[in-house]
Amino acid sequence: MDKIKKNLLSQSIKCFPGGVNSPVRSFAAVGTNPIFVSRASGSKIYDTRGNDYIDFINGWGSLIFGHSAQFTVGALKKQLKNGFLYGISSEYEMRFAKKLMESYPSMDMVRFTNSGTEAVMSAIRTARAYTKREKIVKFEGCYHGHADYLLVKAGSGATTFAVTNSGGVPDDFVKNTIVFPYNEIDSLKNYIRNNRGEIACIIVEPVAGNMGTVLPKKNFLSDLRRISTKYGSVLLFDEIITGFRVARGGAQDAFGIKPDMTCLGKIAGGGLPFGAFGGKKEIMALVSPLGKVYQAGTFSGNPLTMAAGLSVIERLNEKIYKLLDEKTDYLTTEIIKLGKKFGMIVRVNKIASMFTVFFTSDEVTDLKSAMSSDVKKYVRFFNLLFKKGVLFPPSQFESCFLSQAHTDEDLEKTLNAVSDAFKNIN
């Protein structure tokens, strides 16, 4: 067994492109070998070499209660006795849908998928059918999954590896994707005014989480709402990260903006594969079998996912969000203080329980300013924390996430590691 564990990297390289099933897992951006997880519990993950890490990746934001929450494990065990794949409708889907729609009143109807990429792809298809238009607007640094027409100046791994357009994507696939800087409204306004009746939808991460955490400027989201309404475009919020993360009702609740359509995932799946898109009844009525917009999936609404998701969202309340916000506020405030103490130029963007440490003197409000961060310094920062048993994202352009499982002791150990890193980073 020990020999197998030691050879996991060489085995994985033979099995998978780059040795991984998702680019950021390769740790290539931080110049070190990836870890292989053997188990995870609470705030920690444990690798196959016997090391443990305080985890601030948290399934890329999916695990608001931490790893292997016992109530979710219990819900899964109970459901396993009743079957783990039906392929036809079940009562669990209705129970789950009602909970989602209670939290997101902008969704009159919802359709479940198996991933965020599927949800966004299907939502855009539906928006195009509803408006009878082809062009879509997205923003630089916002990642909406790996559908061909969305891999244009995308965030997440595409930013980490300096890829603005993916190989294998024909020009014809992206000709109807119009890209604008995040938080910049004037150029978008002028474009739509001069191209009336052409934009099917405007898709946006209301809080960007894939170029690091980047918050919307004042009035940015409300201006998008106003412009979409004025010119008859669908406003689509990609809340796959922010949904149930920044508030139970997501960013649309936190900022008081009601989109026409919403995509959800991550936390709503309770740690299992999940995606959903929903919106106004007149839009969703176009989805098959009611309408002609085709979307399907054998595993959509899988009973295991429904059980896991319900176990999580039924327990989310204001007390939990308040506690998470307090923990994150304390951690990020202390990181900033340590930066000042050691003469480190640091910016920390934070909202609710998600944050990013940028090594730049500039305010980070879009992809260009995010890219001004000293990535080489972040690499050294990551590796110094990593050696101390603290796991931040292996990319400058991903967000950190806290969970309810993070203890005061975890935070103090993290701050001690940050202090040591700032002392030795140069």
Residue found by looking up tokens 């202090």 in the block: 419
* Other Cβ atoms within 10 Å of 99 Cβ, number: 17
3-state helix, strand, coil in the chain (%, to 5): 45, 15, 40
**Tokens 């357009």 label which residue?**
165
Q: Is 411 helix (H, G, I), strand (E, B) or coil?
A: helix
Distance from C-alpha of 39 to C-alpha of 266, rounded to nearest angstrom: 20
Say if residues 304 and 272 touch (Cβ distance below 8 Å): yes
**H or E element, residue 118:** helix 116-131
- Which residues are tagged catalytic? 143, 238, 266
Strands, E assignment, 186-245: 199-204, 234-238
In 3D space, the residue among 352, 348, 376, 350 whose CA is nearest the CA of residue 361 turns out to be 348
Beta strand 177-180 pairing with 199-204: unpaired
CA-derived radius of gyration, the chain: 21
Q: Return the ∠ at Cα 361 (arms to 32 and 141), rounded to 5°.
A: 60
